[in-house]
Copies of this chain bind each other. A is one copy, B any other.
Amino acid sequence: MARLSPVPHDRVQIDDAFWAPRQEVNRKATLPGVFKHLKATGRYDAFKLKWKPGKPNPPHKFWDSDVAKWLEAVGFSLATHPDRKLQRLADRLIDDIEKAQQKDGYLNVHYTVVEPELRWKNLRDNHELYCAGHLMEAAVAYHDATGKRKLLDVLCRYADYIDRVFGRGKGQLRGYPGHEEIELALMKLARATGENRYAELARFFVDERGRQPHYYDIEARARGEQPDPHRGSGITAYDYNQSHLPVREQTTVEGHAVRATYLYSGMADVAMETGDKSLLKALRKLWDNCAGRRMYVTGGIGSTRFGERFTFDYDLPNESAYAETCAAIGLVFWAHRMLHLDPDGRYADVMERSLYNGVLSGVSLDGTHFFYVNPLAFHPEAAQKNPALHQRAAGGRQGWFGCACCPPNVARLIASLGGYAYSQSGTEARVHLYIRGRAKLEVAGQAVEIVQKTDYPWTEKVRLAVRPERPSTFTLSLRIPGWCRSARLRVNGKSVRLAPIVKKGYAAIRREWKRGDRVELTLPMPVERVEAHPEVRMDCGRVALTRGPVVYCLEEADNGPRLSDLVLKRGAKLTARREKDLLGDVVVIRGKALRRREDEWKSEGLYRPADSKTETVPIRAVPYSTWANRKLGEMVVWIGNGG
């Protein structure tokens, strides 16, 4: 089978009512807004290397990555929507970056002006290789978008230097990053430049990770410190940064969730490049553990703010969920790579789940405020006053964060969203995401345009026009989402039985395609009450409402307070209705629930024999991704069920 590869986002045009407005807000509000913060906080100008010891506001060790992610997002955006002003800001920055590069190729603001003596001395805690990776990704994206090579050349020189510093040769360091990222970035750089050494270096970082003797022990001793595997974790030695075992021996997703997904993405890239089956095998195990035991229904990951990390199987607390926006994004990266390494709709199901829910919740509808953490239940007073919860969520979305990873991360993902929708090979066109618009693929040696007409995710119909340049035989594979239990297909008006042609989540339609061919996929999307695995102790007796890929929540703005006390009547009707003026045009779910009457409780009573009367109240659920765009109040995803 010919190898599938993603169709780049600049070949994909999105003009739907769901994502297109988000992309426009991303271009017009988020990218300029993030720039404003980068400028105001000193990040944008830090590459001028003007900071001197004793002056205030020293460049922080991961500032470079914030700027790089914004630059990458600008690159992605310019590829589909030229913008002279953004490009000028980017070019100016790239000039500074070029000048900030040291003679030997080294490039990191903090370790050039603040702590030059610590270069490469503490890979465990510092972020040099992480920052390098983000700059490489930016360079590739900017080059792809503009054809300008300056930043790409700078990063190649940096990569060449890193390749001299790290390795198994004499005098080289056998280390690897405490915060993974450079692995996947080097793979992008290798593909962009054709330089295989970069791919080899990525593989080196993957292969060295977690080996004994442990590099972080060695470098700690070299610093005159005792090895401290518990640093940042508090739980298990070195699992915080996924170096507790060689990567091929890891079977559970552990530690800091962003680091984890970036590592697994890099592993998938290396496996794709090298055909290494042992990596694929490890990745499948890790995936099963992540998606099957450690992922929120929103596609968020990371169960605790302590270490921003995974905890253990089925441990998915709602109110104290961390579910960092960056981690959901990392899960999309990983899923997208698995989708090519091991083609199977289950990866796309998770990718879609995260995109529509746990990623998108990270940014406000107006594109200027961000969630770092994405809890699945929220109580305003608790977020402020119970210190076990993360106060980053207490005031709702924030305009900026001292640790500012999430805003530019969500910006780069939304700007490049089209790149997650299609794949292509010599014999196949594959559709992963249903989004109105058009895409230009290369299949069977020619350009094939696919035009989608749909109001997904709000309505069930997806109409596709397939337009090869000339009649040609190839396979069109359409994803049948895991959430859909009764999909139907028509090709040129004729019903086609799905069962015989669906394999691993895709309906494969092999035929001679010619201009004018029409495919109609119907994906019925009733409102579903979803239950969690019985081991998820927090969700016992509760259900989440979903419709299609969209996970819903109840907000105080619609339903008043005391959301935890609402109980859906078993079997009671839940109806979906489009509300064009609500939250930028969404489908809401309406129904009825029971709630105990609070007026019966005397003010001093706290416990009493159970005999509360209940009252029936109407409920309105809104997409989880849109919560906290109105007056901040209570929110729950998991709702009492069975009253």
Q: Does A246 contact B (CB under 8 A)?
A: no
From B295, B540, B563, A640 is in contact (CB under 8 Å) with B540
Copies of this protein in the complex: 2
Q: What is the size, in residues, of chain A's interface with B at 8 Å between Cβ atoms?
A: 66
> From residue A229, how far is it (CB to closest CB) to chain B in Å?
16
Q: Does A235 contact B (CB under 8 A)?
A: yes
- In the bound complex, CA of A601 to CA of B313 (Å): 15
Contact indicator per residue, chain A 504-543, by CB within 8 Å of chain B (1) or not (0)? 0000000000000000000000001111111111101111
Q: Does A596 contact B (CB under 8 A)?
A: yes
Contact indicator per residue, chain A 570-606, by CB within 8 Å of chain B (1) or not (0)? 0000000000000000000000000110100101111
Q: Does A642 contact B (CB under 8 A)?
A: yes
- In the bound complex, CA of A388 to CA of B297 (Å): 21
Q: Does A291 contact B (CB under 8 A)?
A: yes
* Beta-carbon contact of B564 and A606 below 8 Å: no
- In the bound complex, CA of A235 to CA of B384 (Å): 8
* Beta-carbon contact of A531 and B607 below 8 Å: yes
- In the bound complex, CA of A534 to CA of B608 (Å): 11
Contact indicator per residue, chain A 290-314, by CB within 8 Å of chain B (1) or not (0)? 0111010100000111110001100
Taking CB atoms, residues of chain B closer than 8 Å to A388 are 304-306, 317, 320, 388
* Beta-carbon contact of A288 and B604 below 8 Å: yes
* Beta-carbon contact of B604 and A292 below 8 Å: yes
Of chain B, the residue at the smallest CB distance from A353 is B607
Of chain B, the residue at the smallest CB distance from A313 is B381
Query: Do A235 and B385 contact each other (CB < 8 Å), given the known contacts A292-B606, A529-B609, A609-B529?
Result: yes
Taking CB atoms, residues of chain B closer than 8 Å to A565 are 534, 537, 540-541
* Beta-carbon contact of B534 and A598 below 8 Å: yes
Interface residue ranges, A against B (CB under 8 Å) = 234-235, 288, 291-293, 295, 297, 303-307, 311-312, 315, 317, 320, 379, 381-382, 384-388, 485, 528-538, 540-544, 562-565, 567, 595-596, 598, 601, 603-612, 640-643
- Top 8 closest pairs, chain A to chain B, by CB: A537-B564, A306-B387, A531-B610, A292-B604, A540-B565, A529-B610, A312-B385, A540-B564
- 17 A-B pairs (CB sep. < 8 Å): A288-B604, A291-B604, A297-B606, A297-B607, A304-B386, A304-B387, A315-B381, A315-B385, A317-B386, A320-B320, A320-B388, A532-B606, A533-B607, A534-B595, A535-B562, A537-B563, A543-B610
